Structure 1
Amino acid sequence: MKISMKNWVKSGSPWIWLNAGAVTISVVMVLGLIGLIAVRGLAHFWPADLHQALVTDRSGQQQMILGEQVQVTQITADQLRNAGYQVDEDIQLLERQLFKIGNRDLYGFDFRWALTRELENIEYPRHATVLERREWGNYYGYLIGIKEDGRLIAEQPLGENILWDEAQKRIQRAVGIYWEIYNLERREIGQVNYQLEQLRLAERRHELRGTDTPENLAELAEERAYWNDQYAEMEARLAELYGQFSRDALVMMSADGQRSVIGLHHVVRGFQPNDMNVFQKMGHYFAKLWEFVSEDPREANTEGGIFPAIFGTVMMVLIMSVIVTPFGVMAAIYLREYAKQGLLTRTIRIAVNNLAGVPSIVYGVFGLGFFVYFVGGNLDQLFFPEALPSPTFGTPGLMWASLTLALLTLPVVIVATEEGLSRIPRSVREGSLALGATKAETLWRVVLPMASPAMMTGVILAVARAAGEVAPLMLVGVVKLAPNLPVDGNFPFLHLDRQFMHLGFHIYDVGFQSPNVEAARPLVYATALMLVLVIAVLNLTAIAIRNRLREKYRALDM
């Protein structure tokens, strides 16, 4: 028995099983983490039923509340006694519930804890209404009337629902006008403002160059007059839309009897979750999910979507990849193919390996000092003097963030590429040279194609690290809210000088800087899931390219 066990150990089978077990545990943990993030994040978009209950607090005061049950937890009796509650000595634990009651403009807060024993007359009113607002969060209550131009045109008794269809039509009308205003302000008026700013810079440029002749200035004045006329027409159209936008309002009543008039220009959507069937709830769920991935954030990033952050993350990673790949490959080629293998080369390799361990915030400080202030400031002096003292490239932006992350991930690409070059047999190089090819031709036509899968491995590792970085980006380009995307219809279309939003920083901002922690928590999970998905898509794309290259040049490997 001892001999067979000894032979089994010598065969290496235990290590195979240990490795398989370790891999299995790692995969289960990763999938469990992603599952936890997905459940807690995606459940936020489901229209939860509204609870109405009478709450009696410790002072004996009663209040009717209406809201979503968010969480059920246990609390010790000692904690309650310390808070001033009267609790019997034989009780150790009590159940409490967290409700999202909204109506922040009425109560000053969105969430309320209540002990289960404090809740009475719990019911689920069929016509309880949720209004998602652009400001002040959700409103929970009952529709009792409709106003138009400040006049009450229809009303209904509390508990009836005869006005709901009309209210929905007016909400849809207001939402349509909102998007007209959005497109007019952000696109058409934005285009006019951009052209007027370019004319101002052109006039300043003429002054600096001494070419501000009457002819040049008259040409600019003529063009400015044209754009001013366009702006005046758009302003008139905008004023008309705003007049239509603020026409309608809903008269609402909260569960505790407070009346509110809510203008529909503040409302994103309205729904009655207790009166919705499964299919209606699914339609609402996917509409909210689409809003999350396609629209701009609102309410201090705790509501709305994260599209600018998704776009900024993908754009920065793509630009970083385009920058880091050629520099990393060229450095690896020089170290492996051309540099004399001596003390200096070994020192350079050690330095490259050590760079991979430098804290990322150090790269951010370097990027801010060198790229932003030194390089960007000099570029402004040379190419954009007419815009000074307002900086163009002398301020954090997309280009400097991409360059900083390219510098951060450069050692990864160098090491991976050099490893790939070292695995190519010497006989392949000698065979190419024997057939009359030069060293450069051998490198370009034989060696690099065979090493391309290793290069892509380096890019994959670089993308995985860069997409999740936050600390350096806070210094060199990322902001809480970027009003304009780095890409638009104005020349040069890709604006590398603009600041941008990033999913990693968005998670930090919502999770740790939000004034409303409870409201922000589900969005932290949802945004984290989106970041994981973005990184996975980028990596899978790079892996597919690598596998295709590996299959293409497999014959050369043999």
Structure 2
Amino acid sequence: MAIADIHERGGRGLLPWIKSGEPMIWLNAAAVSLSVVAVLGLLFLLAVRGFSHFWPRDVMLVNATYQGQERVLLGEVVEQVQVSGEQLREAGFELAGAGPFYGRSLIKQGNRDFFPSDFVWVLDEQLGERRYPAHVMVVERLEWGNFYGTLISVSRDGELLADASGEPAALWRAFQDLIDETLAVREQIGDIERGEIGANNYQMERLRLRERSLELEGALDTAAQAELAAERAALDVRYAALQEALYALYDSVDGFTYGARLADGREVELPVSKVVRAFRPNAMDTADKAWMYLKKLWEFLSAEPREANTEGGVFPAMFGTVLMVILMSIMVTPFGVVAAVYLREYARQGFVTRTIRVAVNNLAGVPSIVYGVFGLGFFVYFVGGEIDQLLFREALPSPTFGTPGLMWASLTLALLTLPVVIVATEEGLARIPKSIREGSLALGATRAETLWRVVLPMASPAMMTGLILAVARAAGEVAPLMLVGVVKLAPTLPLDGNYPYLHLDQKFMHLGFHIYDVGFQSPNVEAARPLVYATALLLVILIALLNFTAVHLRNRLRERYKSLEN
């Protein structure tokens, strides 16, 4: 609004302008703009702090005075801050200058198996000349975090393939060849361990439960025992063959080693079987780093976590989140719609109905942890325990459904989001004109046919709105899931190739709980911090994709039935 316009309105009187409601319009616009800026700023912070972690940084070699000793540091500068000189002096630091602020760098030196800590804080004035040698390598490992050093030799089964005395390119190529061969063998090992051996063990467990079931029924006669023994013998033979193949694969790469020199001059020999990848960031151009960035980002999205969830990927957590939301949506939608239809179409509108509506609205404000406690006590211990007594007696005392799992987590969140679906659906039913119902009845349709063929299709956009709100709330919930099914690390996915394929009794991983675990329960806070940002942004993106899918479906339904509303 122009200044002259404001003065003109002030000349006519400020009170009429306020009564017109125009100031509230501007106030609301400012509030919406501020909210949008805050959300975009949060997303930008998550993206910068999270996804920048996967960019290969240059590795610095520098002489430093650290903890009163002269040391050679080799690592990445992951963070730089300004610290008050007064605070440093009070902490006992001897500072050469008298400035008010001093730079402080967080250096990731890795090599957790050789140094006390893989992250060190060093004042910039304690660092000497910074160098970035092209031959320095970064080795990402399955255990002990990153390794920083210089490659000096590569060996296969005790036979030296190449060393630093030869051509550097040949040494590096021999190292990469061994890594590629090891990765191929590791993939075969994973297929056998999780695929074939996992399926074999699953069949063995089912065989044990069948034997126990026959025993409880008194039908474990000689013929049944012989049949079970024959099946068990066949599975034992198959397991022995798989174990032999597995040991052969392990032995084929056990002799692969590489020699490296640490920053302090020590020379060590390490197994190639623990290597995920190795690269030389100081010798890489922008295109090479971009390609490496994409590979590490894909690993984050598709791989499993390792090193106490501080490295690797989040695919099991992402898979568990999506599967739980889908199951929750399947459970909550029918119950919510049926309840809303009864309250709006069939229930007599009076004191009882109004009381029920008030109770439903109040349920939407109950803290989520209360639902978690209820789900643990009612669904898990009571319902699950009764199901085990009726259907899974052969597995007792080991619980099947009498323990937290995917089904109880989905059902608990369905109960949590049920009021949202009921209210949204009931409002959609209330907006349908009475004339449409009367017209359908006048044409000879029954009340049930009118509801099923006319009213519910027209109210479907409102149902989708309720589902969108339910997904938005349930996907980010953590507190109830900690009680009814989510775990820090699940060895297998709840959906696999073993009958019945979807294992509703299994525990699962969730992105929300993964953020909590990495951020607050990690033994290595500095290493986990970037993954907290990256996982949080991934959760926001995942919820947005689920919501956009539901919104697209709702818009299509709305366009389809718009003519009927008019």
User: How high is the TM-score relative to the length of structure 2?
Assistant: 0.96
Matched, 1:184 2:199: no
Structure 1: 5+ residue runs without aligned partners?
Answer: none
Secondary structure, aligned partner of 1:520: helix
* Structure 1 CA distance for aligned equivalents of residues 508 and 167 of structure 2: 47
Secondary structure, aligned partner of 2:533: helix
Structure-1 residue corresponding to 2:395:
387
Q: 1:89 to 1:256 in 2, by over 3 A?
A: closer
Q: Where do residues 207-222 of structure 1 align in structure 2 (5 Å cutoff)?
A: 207-222=215-230
Contact 1:98 1:114 in 2 (8 A): yes
1:419-459 Cα distance to aligned partner (Å, 9 max, x none): 11111111111121222221111111111111110000000
Structure-2 residue corresponding to 1:25:
34
Q: 1:201 to 1:58 in 2, by over 3 A?
A: closer
* Structure 1 CA distance for aligned equivalents of residues 451 and 492 of structure 2: 44
Matched, 1:375 2:375: no
Secondary structure, aligned partner of 2:233: helix
Q: 1:538 aligns with which of 520, 525, 546?
A: 546
Contact 2:328 2:411 in 1 (8 A): yes
Contact 2:405 2:484 in 1 (8 A): yes
Matched, 1:245 2:253: yes
Secondary structure, aligned partner of 2:88: helix
Q: How much has 1:154 moved relative to structure 2?
A: 2.9
Q: 1:263 aligns with which of 271, 284, 303?
A: 271
Matched, 1:56 2:69: no
* Structure 2 CA distance for aligned equivalents of residues 291 and 455 of structure 1: 37
What is the identity percentage for the equivalent residue pairs of Structure 1 and Structure 2?
A: 62
* Structure 2 CA distance for aligned equivalents of residues 138 and 359 of structure 1: 42
Amino acid at match of 2:217: R
* Structure 2 CA distance for aligned equivalents of residues 150 and 345 of structure 1: 81
Amino acid at match of 1:331: A
Q: 2:43 aligns with which of 3, 10, 34?
A: 34
Structure-1 residue corresponding to 2:441:
433
* Structure 1 CA distance for aligned equivalents of residues 504 and 209 of structure 2: 19
* Structure 2 CA distance for aligned equivalents of residues 154 and 438 of structure 1: 86
Secondary structure, aligned partner of 1:468: coil
* Structure 2 CA distance for aligned equivalents of residues 127 and 341 of structure 1: 80
* Structure 2 CA distance for aligned equivalents of residues 370 and 507 of structure 1: 28
Contact 2:375 2:484 in 1 (8 A): yes
Matched, 1:232 2:245: no
Amino acid at match of 1:32: G
Q: How much has 1:318 moved relative to structure 2?
A: 0.3
* Structure 2 CA distance for aligned equivalents of residues 372 and 358 of structure 1: 20
Amino acid at match of 2:24: W
Q: 1:459 aligns with which of 452, 464, 467?
A: 467
* Structure 1 CA distance for aligned equivalents of residues 482 and 398 of structure 2: 21
Amino acid at match of 1:460: I
Higher deviation after alignment, 441-450 or 508-517: 441-450
Q: How much has 1:75 moved relative to structure 2?
A: 1.1
Contact 1:58 1:85 in 2 (8 A): no
User: How high is the TM-score relative to the length of structure 1?
Assistant: 0.98
Contact 1:144 1:158 in 2 (8 A): no
Q: How much has 1:244 moved relative to structure 2?
A: 0.9
Q: Where do residues 103-182 of structure 1 align in structure 2 (5 Å cutoff)?
A: 103-157=111-165, 160-182=168-190
Matched, 1:470 2:460: no
* Structure 2 CA distance for aligned equivalents of residues 301 and 486 of structure 1: 19
Q: How much has 1:14 moved relative to structure 2?
A: 3.1
1:294-351 Cα distance to aligned partner (Å, 9 max, x none): 0110000000000000000000000000000000000011111111111111111111
* Structure 2 CA distance for aligned equivalents of residues 477 and 159 of structure 1: 55
Structure-2 residue corresponding to 1:15:
24
Q: How much has 1:379 moved relative to structure 2?
A: 0.5
Amino acid at match of 2:448: A
Contact 1:178 1:245 in 2 (8 A): no
Contact 1:127 1:161 in 2 (8 A): no
Amino acid at match of 1:362: V
* Structure 2 CA distance for aligned equivalents of residues 14 and 546 of structure 1: 34
Q: 2:409 aligns with which of 387, 398, 401?
A: 401
Q: 1:324 aligns with which of 325, 332, 339?
A: 332
Q: How much has 1:10 moved relative to structure 2?
A: 4.7
Contact 1:295 1:304 in 2 (8 A): yes
Matched, 1:75 2:86: no
* Structure 1 CA distance for aligned equivalents of residues 227 and 430 of structure 2: 63
Q: How much has 1:79 moved relative to structure 2?
A: 2.1
1:15-52 Cα distance to aligned partner (Å, 9 max, x none): 33332222222112111111110111110000000011
Q: 1:139 to 1:247 in 2, by over 3 A?
A: same
Contact 2:325 2:475 in 1 (8 A): yes
Q: 1:493 aligns with which of 493, 496, 501?
A: 501
Structure-2 residue corresponding to 1:46:
55
Q: How much has 1:58 moved relative to structure 2?
A: 5.2
Amino acid at match of 2:196: E
Contact 2:192 2:242 in 1 (8 A): yes
